[in-house]
Amino acid sequence: MDKYPFLKEAGSPFKDRDVTKMSDLTKKWDGQVIKGPALIGVPLSKSSISHSGASFAPGTIRQALGSTSAYSAELGGHVISDLLYDLGDIDIHVTDIVKSHEQIYHTMSELLTDHPDWVPLILGGDNSISYSTIKAIAQLKGTTAVFQFDAHHDVRNTEDGGPTNGTPFRRLLDEDIIEGQNLIQLGIREFSNSLSYEEYAKKHNVDIHTMGMIREKGLVPTIKDVLDTVKRRTDSIFISVDMDVLDQSHAPGCPAIGPGGLYTDELLQAVRYIAQDPRVAGIEIVEVDPTLDFRDMTSRAAAHVMLHALKGIKLARQLDLRQI
């Protein structure tokens, strides 16, 4: 095609030779040993108690992530040192939610067993996937602390609707997969929960931080105080980000939007701070519904959550290298 230098593939975006996008550094996984962060999608949304197109979110988040520059001014370099592998999506059963949860758990467990140095970057999916992802992490990585960014406790009973996106943390607590004192809930919002579920969480010693408490103290200072204590009694850390923790003006593409939530920059700073801990064993993004979104605002915010997690992980590794 040298004869036609101005003819290009249909839909090809503008390419600036001096800009490296995340898509330039992301590669389809070829089965080799995974060390460090790598992407995996979990496109489940049938278990949502309200309308949800969260099954489309892994695709829109990947697209938003791929179109973003890989350069971090604060790092003075790319947010990843080499390549970011993408393992693809976990197959979801067409109709059976319980079977879907089992497939998610077994896939995560087998991958983590075969690749113990993998740090999964999980693109959900609704919040019900947290039961399976955290179960796999906790059973392989030891006592696990979960930093749950969420407007809701997600400890609904399973009698009224089975295993839904409102039940994952009740299931994890009831089955003793995690301990209540090691579940740190950040961003619990007013008029979004019930007395019964708050009492359940308190009975299990869940560490609850409401939006009112966070507004008074600050999000990162809250995490700093908690992290020092949690690190002494756990082996690994998992970050679970339900995007409805954000104020509705920052995340319109969530099934359960509401006012009075976190601002995007607060969430990004918090995730980056936690991700600097070398024992972070994974991070998940859930509850993005592209069918409700405006100009992919929520998918873009989710992509930046992952970028800031990668930034925190790289900062931790740079510090380790300086100490050698």
3-state SS, one letter per residue, for 69-100: ECEECCCCEECCCCCEEEEEECCCCCCCHHHH
pLDDT of residue 66: 97
* pLDDT tens digit sequence for 124-181: 999 999 999 999 999 999 999 999 999 999 999 999 999 999 999 999 999 999 999 9
Q: What is the mean pLDDT of residues 201-215?
A: 98
pLDDT of residue 253: 97
What is residue 216's three-state secondary structure? helix
Domain boundaries, the chain: 22-323
> How many whole angstroms separate alpha carbon 119 and alpha carbon 96?
28
pLDDT of residue 322: 43
> How many whole angstroms separate alpha carbon 67 and alpha carbon 107?
28
- Tell how strand 236-242 and strand 144-149 pair up: parallel
Length of the chain: 324
Helix residue spans in 115-218 (DSSP H): 129-141, 168-174, 195-203, 211-217
pLDDT of 81 strictly over 70? yes
pLDDT of 324 strictly over 70? no
- The single residue listed with the structure tokens 């869940």 is 206
CATH topology classification for 22-323: Arginase; Chain A (3.40.800)
pLDDT of 321 strictly over 90? no
pLDDT of 323 strictly over 70? no
Torsion of CA 285, 288, 290, 291, to 10 degrees: 150
